[in-house]
Structure 1
């Protein structure tokens, strides 16, 4: 699987490149600035891009802007954002299409190699991977805040796991519930948020995100 990586810090970029290659990925381009990222995404046509938000020359949002521009030219291009920051405007735009193949992880909350590699694979396969703190940030001004507040602590835990793209089986294992308990919590979440349940995990995540961003 072909990967384009964008990260301005050399040691981190080198470490991520080594990690990806050790897990069978082909890193076809490893860049440190926005213009080079856009060029690599269009010329190399990778299966997935791993992108930092803040890249040279201005260290604001060049990475995410380049990824979005590439996705406009190549609809459906899988993008995994790996950053220290949550850019609400561009994160919402990244999710707006509702087509999946997107992810947004915070660097300081990726605690092991398996978590990172798993996220790359799920995004490349068309899934959605979102850090719960990113979800919280995106929901901060949502009109659905009252509905979110109506969820129980258990339901909030399940919703966070759903937002990460987890299946009911994975949620049950992580939260130490039975699968039937997870199914009941999921049904309650959809009822309270007025969203029709779906058996497709990725569609569930996208439906929740799309509704809560309104």
Structure 2
């Protein structure tokens, strides 16, 4: 897997390079600011971009905006954004920009190397990964409306879907068979009015319902 990495902290950037390459990925270019990220992604056409949200010169949302530009220019490009803090609007902007191959994680997750690398691989494979802390905050805020139709168990399943878990992973977490998980997911699709015609994207659209951003794209 070919990766372009954008991070303005030299120490973290070097640490991530070693981590990714030790996991069998190839870091083809790095950048310390958003313009450099755009140039590197255009030149190298990587499989995956990993970028910080806040980058020079203003240290606000340059990395995120660069990621959104890249997704418009290269729709097939997988993008995982890292953030120091939970910033729900950034997660919403990123996830509303496309149906898959996107992720938003807190930097603290890097410390759990196995889960972090698994998240990268899921995003590169077309999945959607959302930091569990973002999911928890959204639940605490009571983002419901169509979600009110879901049973507590279905909400648990949707929460884990939002974190990027597979059916097998959800079943392991909730001690359910894959068949039971599939039934719950089918009920979620029905209650959120996601028709079979929407195909595999229904899983991502369900997560966007969860974030209340489906119509903000």
Shorter-normalised TM range: 0.7 to 0.9
Aligned twin of 2:126: 126
C-alpha contact (below 8 Å) 1:165/1:205 kept by paired residues: no
CA RMSD of aligned residues (A): 2.7
Instruction: Establish whether residue 50 from structure 1 lines up as the match of residue 56 from structure 2.
Output: no
How far 1:49 sits from its partner (Å)?
0.3
Aligned twin of 1:5: 5
Aligned twin of 1:205: 203
Paired residue secondary structure (1:208): helix
Aligned twin of 2:160: 161
Unaligned runs of 5+ in 1: none
Unaligned runs of 5+ in 2: none
How far 1:145 sits from its partner (Å)?
2.1
Aligned twin of 2:117: 117
C-alpha contact (below 8 Å) 2:109/2:116 kept by paired residues: no
C-alpha contact (below 8 Å) 1:8/1:56 kept by paired residues: yes
| TM-score, normalization by structure 2 | 0.83
C-alpha contact (below 8 Å) 2:78/2:126 kept by paired residues: yes
How far 1:181 sits from its partner (Å)?
2.8
C-alpha contact (below 8 Å) 1:7/1:51 kept by paired residues: yes
Separation in 2, partners of 1:3, 1:57: 23
Aligned twin of 2:99: 99
Deviations 1:38-69 (A, max 9, x none): 11111121110001100111100111111222
| TM-score, normalization by structure 1 | 0.84
Separation in 1, partners of 2:32, 2:196: 42
Separation in 1, partners of 2:180, 2:124: 30
